[in-house]
Structure formats: structure tokens, C-alpha cells
Structure 1
Amino acid sequence: MTPTNRTEAFDAAERAMWQGRTEAYAGSFARLCAYPVEALLDAAGAGEGTRVLDVGTGTGTAAVAALARGARVSAVDADAGMVAAACARGIDARTGVLPELPYPDGEFDAVVGNFVLNHVGRPRAALAELHRVLRPGGRIALTTWSAKRGAGQDLLGRACEAGGAVPPSYLPRLDPAEDWPRTAEGLAQLLGGAGFVAAEAAELAWDHRAGVEEWWSGAAGGVATIGLVVTSQDPQTVVRIRREYDRLCAEHTEAEGRLALPHIALLGSGRRA
């Protein structure tokens, strides 16, 4: 498969993975992804009167938080269901697929992307587009998952492995030529390579707290890569995965049966010169 075909296949798999998953995402992993939002907006300098673009808005969590700060917010997402959910929360959202956005050059004072860079097949081209829509002096801030993982991130994957799951062949696989080191240094270098100055990045670590059924519902609802793995199995394998999941949850259970799930992500930022 050529690099172009690999990238097209990755993007197509990502689009298919999220289609029809808005409700399942909102009821599960959306709370997890909300954790870095305030730090993300701080890093982008989003505040009163700031023109902010939230790219990959999902159900609109970062966009709503920016609105609460008095920013003038626009948002895009590749999935029509996510766009509808964001619009229902009062966000000016439209469909847009990186690396092509429906905005003129220099339109925004700040661009934020909360866990979106890991879902695009051409991350460097995506950053070049975000650079284009920022005004000179405007700031960008992005979160993405780190190569270093918290123990909570592996809970569902461990359950799949213990339950005998076989990952399907159609999982999104990034072209190696498009990949980059998933470290703070790697993210800062990626931003710098796209023309952003004063680029920097750091790790974020937190314990996400969720109910046993809530955390399972994301995977069972087909959300993200782990959801593709779970929902592609035969019914007997799903039963085994769930049994292993319940067993492994004991490692993370705290008061009142809630799970405390350690996660690690990266937050990167920079400025257009």
C-alpha cells in the first residue's frame, strides 16, 4: 500500500469509527477528555473577546468552556453527529475535516484541539492548516495521548487480551512516515516544524473517576479504537472480555465502587510569528 493510500485508509477508518457514536461517546469517554480543557484554554490565551476555533470539537466541551470565558467561538468536527450535538449546546459549529478548514487566513486569535491530532492521517498538514487560520501572534494549544500510558488507560485493552479478542484488520493505522514521537519533546518539535514559535509541551497526568458500567459503555458502544476491538468480536468473546474487565476493575476500585483510572496525555502550545 502506498503512503497516500495508507493515509486515505487511516482517515476513512477514523471517520467510520466515530459515525453514529455521538451518544455513546457523550455517556462515557467525553468526561475523560474534558479534564484538560481549562489548561488547554489557558495555554491558548482564550478569554474575553478572543476569537477561538475549537477544531475536533466533539460534543462541544472545549467550545462551551471558551464561551463561558467570554470568547467568540467557532467549532468544527469531521462527524455530523458531533456537530449537531455541539450546535445543540449553543456552539457555532460546522462540519470540517483537517487538513482543510472552511475559514479564511488569519481568522482566529486562538486555536484549540482537544485530542484531535491523534485522529488525523496527516498531522503535519493539519498543523499547517491551523497555522494558516491563526492571525500573526495568535496561539495554538493541543492535547494528544502520550506514548507513556497510565494504568487506567490499559484496563480495557488488558481485558480484551485476557478475553482472547483478536483486533480487526480495519483498525486505523497511521502511515509510519506521518508518525511522530508521542512525547512532550516530540510534540514541541512537531509544532515547531509547522512554523509555530515558542513551541512547548508537557505531560498531564490525572486519575479519571468513572463507574464500572460507564467505563465499559464506551467500549461496548464502539467508541474509539478499543470500541472497534470489542464490537468486532463474536458474542462469546465479548462475554469473556466483560468477565475479565470485571475482574481487573478490582485493581482500580475505590470508595463506593467507583474506578480511579490513571491517565497520561500531552499538552502542547505555540504561537504564530
Structure 2
Amino acid sequence: MTNAEAYDRGFAHLSSHTVGALLDLARRSRAPRLLDVGCGTGVVTAAALALGAEVTAVDADPVMLEVAARRHPYATIRQACLPDLPFEDEEFDAIAGNFVINHVPDTAGALKELHRVLRPDGTIALTWWKSDEMTATNVFADAIAAARIPYEPPPRPFTANDTPARFTELLRETGFREAAVDTVRWRHQVDLDAWWTDIVQAGGPRFRMIADQPEETVERIKAHYTRLAQPYAHEGFPVCAYLAHATR
């Protein structure tokens, strides 16, 4: 499980940049019943509630859900994991998933399930990282490599579907209409020491191995991180994400 508070300070802050764009479709369609899938600590949930939506938020991690439930008592919080959602057919007017589809092993199966629970003419919006333009996190992998620590990153099943053309095709094959993918770029400005602490303490699948190393090894990795991250201290890390949107 993830350290939810560290995740909230780190990854959730990074991913919050796309929330406004993610909810634009729901805002335009005035969708009252919104599903926040892979809600984490509730960044999307908070924004959707502020728009007046009736929000149901799901995540696989019970620690994340505890934080989300405590912060957002007016949302319905459920533990669930794609591609199996505990909802009736056509139950939601809109679906938002902020950086969750890239963690699902079966992309096509997840899209089929999201299509099932979305009403006709309902909208869906999903984001994922453009992995080769993710300096904010790639700097950690580069630091591990520079420290010459054996490291086998976890597999990424989503890689086969992570291009805009392929994901658009998948949406259409699943039955969605008006499918398109936009590119979103920004600079993630953050204190470099705080970013190190929050990413390492979050204990996510890619970098939890750092905290498991002996103290001297951790310090060696951190020294390389500081060197590699320093050029971005003023303007921030360049970040790129994709935003897919479609209609059922």
C-alpha cells in the first residue's frame, strides 16, 4: 500500500494540473452523476464536488480511500478496481480517471467496463503520462542508474496502448464515439528536497525500492538525484500528459 499523505503531497500535487481539463466535459454536459475512477486521495473528487456533481469515487487502495472519505464526506467512496466495478449498467453521466488507466493491466477490458457503467451520450475523460517526457519522475530512475544500483522497473502493460492513435482506436473499438486525445504540457515547480522526500516516502511501485536500500545507498542515490534535478530548480520539471475524451 502507498503512504497516502506522502502521495498526496507529491504525485497528487503533480497530477492536479490536469483536473480542470479532465472535468471540462462533465462541466459542459452538466453531468450530475460522476464516477471518479482511481480517485487516490480525492483531487478530482474535490473539484467535481465544487462543480456541483454527485460524485462516486473508487480506488483499489484502502489507505487512499480513508483519506478521500475523511476529506470528502459528501462523496460516495467505494473500494473497487478496474476492470470490475460494483455498479449497475448506465449508472453514471460522466467518468473521470486521472492517471489510472496507465496502471490497469487490461486496458481494453477496463474501457469495456467503463463503457458499461456510463449512460448513452455520457462523457468519459482519462489521462496518462507521456513516459519519455516525465522528467519529474524519470530523474529518480536516472539517479538510481547513476548510483549503479541494480534496478528492474515494474512492467508497464499499458505501453502497448499509450499512443494517442492506439488509444483512440481502443475507445472506438469499445463503442465510444467522438474519441480524441489531447496533449497537455506544463512545468512542475516544486522544492527539490520536498519532491525527493514525498516520492520516496510515497512507496509507489516504481520507487519504493529506494527506501528499502541501506542508508548509505539511499544517500548516494539522493546525491545523484540532487545533481540531475538542479537544472530544473527554478523553472520546474517539464511534464507531458495525454488527455483522452469520448462520448458513449
Question: Greater CA deviation, 223-232 or 100-109?
Answer: 223-232
Q: Which runs of 5+ in 2 are unaligned?
A: none
**Cα distance per residue 1:186-237 (max 9 Å; x no partner):** 2212222221111100111100111112210133214334322422433322
C-alpha distance in structure 1 between counterparts of 2:106 and 2:204, whole Å: 18
**Structure-2 change in CA distance of 1:45 and 1:131 (3 Å):** farther
2:37 corresponds to which of 51, 55, 70: 55
Task: Tell me how far 1:172 sits from its aligned partner.
Answer: 3.3
The residue aligned with 2:240 is 264
Residue 265 of structure 1 aligns to a residue whose secondary structure is strand
**Structure-2 change in CA distance of 1:206 and 1:33 (3 Å):** same
2:85 corresponds to which of 96, 101, 123: 101
Residue 226 of structure 1 aligns to a residue whose secondary structure is coil
C-alpha distance in structure 2 between counterparts of 1:78 and 1:225, whole Å: 14
Q: Which runs of 5+ in 1 are unaligned?
A: 1-18
Residue 210 of structure 1 aligns to a residue whose secondary structure is coil
C-alpha distance in structure 1 between counterparts of 2:84 and 2:196, whole Å: 34
Residue 86 of structure 1 aligns to a residue whose secondary structure is helix
Question: Greater CA deviation, 231-240 or 158-167?
Answer: 231-240
Residue 133 of structure 2 aligns to a residue whose secondary structure is coil
The runs of at least 4 aligned residues of structure 1 exceeding 6 Å deviation read: none
Question: Greater CA deviation, 180-189 or 44-53?
Answer: 44-53
Task: Tell me how far 1:49 sits from its aligned partner.
Answer: 5.5
Residue 6 of structure 2 aligns to a residue whose secondary structure is helix
The residue aligned with 2:142 is 158
1:30 aligns with 2:12: yes
* Contact 2:31 2:94 (C-alpha < 8 Å) held by counterparts: no
Match for 1:122: what amino acid?
A: D
Match for 1:193: what amino acid?
A: E
**Structure-2 change in CA distance of 1:151 and 1:81 (3 Å):** closer
Q: Tell me the percent identity.
A: 38
1:209 aligns with 2:189: yes
1:112 corresponds to which of 72, 86, 96: 96
* Contact 1:45 1:110 (C-alpha < 8 Å) held by counterparts: no
1:39 aligns with 2:15: no
CA RMSD of aligned residues (A): 1.9
TM-score (norm 2): 0.92
2:49 corresponds to which of 67, 74, 97: 67
* Contact 1:222 1:231 (C-alpha < 8 Å) held by counterparts: no
**Cα distance per residue 1:8-32 (max 9 Å; x no partner):** xxxxxxxxxxx14211101211100
**Structure-2 change in CA distance of 1:115 and 1:43 (3 Å):** same
1:143 corresponds to which of 118, 122, 127: 127
The residue aligned with 1:228 is 208
**Structure-2 change in CA distance of 1:271 and 1:47 (3 Å):** closer
* Contact 1:219 1:230 (C-alpha < 8 Å) held by counterparts: no
Count of equivalent residues: 246
C-alpha distance in structure 1 between counterparts of 2:47 and 2:29, whole Å: 10
**Cα distance per residue 1:116-171 (max 9 Å; x no partner):** 01111111111111000000110100001124414334222221111122215xx5
Residue 158 of structure 1 aligns to a residue whose secondary structure is helix
C-alpha distance in structure 1 between counterparts of 2:100 and 2:56, whole Å: 16
**Cα distance per residue 1:62-96 (max 9 Å; x no partner):** 01100100111111000111111111122321101
**Structure-2 change in CA distance of 1:156 and 1:116 (3 Å):** same
1:126 corresponds to which of 105, 110, 124: 110
